[in-house]
Each structure stands twice: as C-alpha cells, then as structure tokens.
Amino acid sequence: MRVFCAVFARGLRRHSTYRAATLSGIVVNGVFGAINAMVLLAVFDARPHINGYTAADAVTQVFVGQALIGVTAVFGPPLELGARVRDGTVASDLLRPVPPTLWWLAQDLGRAAFALLVRSVPTLAVGAALFDLVLPADPLRWAALLVSAVLAALVGFGLRHLYALSAFWLADSRGVEAVGWLLGPFCSGMLLPLTLFPDSVAAVLRLLPWAALVQVPAEMLLGHGAPGGLAHQAVWAAALLALGALLSARAARRLVGQGG
C-alpha cells in the first residue's frame, strides 16, 4: 500500500509540473465545448425535447464531457507501457516489488486526480459562464458525480491498459490505441449524448464500457441517472482491471519465454 501511495503521489506531482499544458488544455476544452454546445443548441432549436433531454441538459453534458477529458484520457495520452514494450525497457518493470497493473494504475490515478482538481473544475466553470448549465443545488448529485468520475477514471485506465498490453502480441500498440481514440469519444457520449441516438443504437452503446466515461457521469449530475449507472461503471471497472491483470501476467510469461 505504501508503494501504491508513493507511485500515486509521483504521478500527481509529475503532471503538476506541466502548468502551461494544463492551462492550454483548459482553453482548448472551453473552445471546443462552446463549439459543440452551439451545434447542439441549433439542433434543439428545431426540436426542444429529445428523449427527455432539453437543450440545457445537452449543453451541460458537453461541458461535463470536456471536464472529464483529462480524468478519463478518452483522447489519450496512452500509457507509457506500450512504448516500453517497443524499446524493451518493460523488462525492468518486472523487477518492481509491486504487480505491474497496480504500478501503472497508481501512476495513472495520480494523473487523473490532478486533472480532476486543476482542469475539470475550471472547464466546468467556463461552461457555466458561457451557457445556462443545469447545475444542481443538491450536494448528493455532486457527490454522485464525484463517485462517477472516480469510476470513470478506473474504466478509462482499464481500456488504455488493454490497448497498451496489445504491444506484447502486436509489437506496437499504436494502431490499437488509434482505434480506441476514435471509438471512445463517439461511444462515450462526449461528441453527442447517447440519448440523441436512435433507441436501438443508444441501447447498445450504453452496454459498452465507453458509456461509463461520460454518459453516466453526466446523467448523475443531471439527475437522469440511477444507481444502476454507478453499478455499470463499477462492473466495467472491475472487469477491465481483472482482464488487464490476467493479460499482464500472461504477457510477463511470454516475455520471459522469449528470453528477455
């Protein structure tokens, strides 16, 4: 546990040094959030209610999604694991006194915690300043959003960990990661709330792990969510972490079997 906490702190401290990148990220999130919000406002101008969503709900989800970009890393960055497999330095990772999956998880949660504290709050504030967002007065809704954001970070790590682990079998994880960066924003509700998709398509997308990254947290804040949403996130987080640990163990045996 001490090692886990130390690696977590290291990840948080590491990303806190990139202040210019953090500031530029907030600006970019605000700009793209405003563009996406104006597109959705035009859509809702023609049809005020779509499957229970109003224009304010959709715009709020846009900025929740922008606020969670850094937390979930839905657009990246990839874990360094893939690059370490390519250059062979992953062999030294096996010598650490902690399972590789826990090591990378602790480091990534440090990154996500920094993003949540320093990047998410200002991004949501920008959205509230520019648009009429649905921001509840009930602290329980905010608590549900916080829990959902933590679970979203775990799911985001689980997905990126699997992308990176593909390098053990493909020698290069960048192709898998590129596909993941395309699927993630579309399937998560970041580019377009899943509520706006046809019912049959939305039902399928809600079953996938990417919905846990944006759609579920947004619905927790909007009050459209149910405890089942948090359960969906928790199940996917546990499944992805377990699968990642299993594949990581097999990859380690594969690496040893190949001689280094």
First CA to last CA distance, the chain: 29
**Per-residue pLDDT, 254:** 66
Predicted local confidence at residue 81, as pLDDT = 83
For the chain, where are the alpha helices, taking DSSP H only?
A: 2-16, 19-46, 55-67, 69-72, 81-87, 90-93, 100-114, 121-130, 139-165, 167-170, 174-188, 199-207, 215-222, 227-257
What is the C-alpha to C-alpha distance for residues 130 and 181, in angstroms, rounded to an integer? 28
Predicted local distance difference test score (pLDDT) of residue 98: 77
In sequence order, which residues have a C-beta less than 8 Å from that of residue 17 and are 6 or more positions away?
none
**Are residues 105 and 248 in contact, defined by beta-carbon separation less than 8 angstroms?**
no
Segments forming the whole domain that contains residue 143: 2-257
Q: What does the alpha-carbon distance between residue 221 and residue 52 come to, in Å, rounded to a whole number?
A: 15
pLDDT at res. 255: 63
Contact 212, 233 (CB under 8 A): yes
Q: Round to whole Å and give the CA distance between 95 and 111.
A: 23
- Non-local (6+) Cβ contacts of 188 within 8 A are 65, 72, 74, 210, 211, 212, 213, 214, 215
Give pLDDT, residue 55: 92
All residues at 6 or more sequence positions from 118 whose CB lies less than 8 Å from its CB, including other chains: 16, 22
Domain count, the chain: 1
**Residue whose tokens read 């959709």:** 58
> For position 258, what pLDDT does the model report?
44
Q: Which residues of the chain have pLDDT under 50?
A: 257-260
Look at residue 256 in the predicted model and tell me its pLDDT.
52
- Can you tell me whether residue 238 is helix, strand or coil? helix
| DSSP letters spanning 158-195 | HHHHHHHHTHHHHS--HHHHHHHHHHHHHHHTSSS-GG
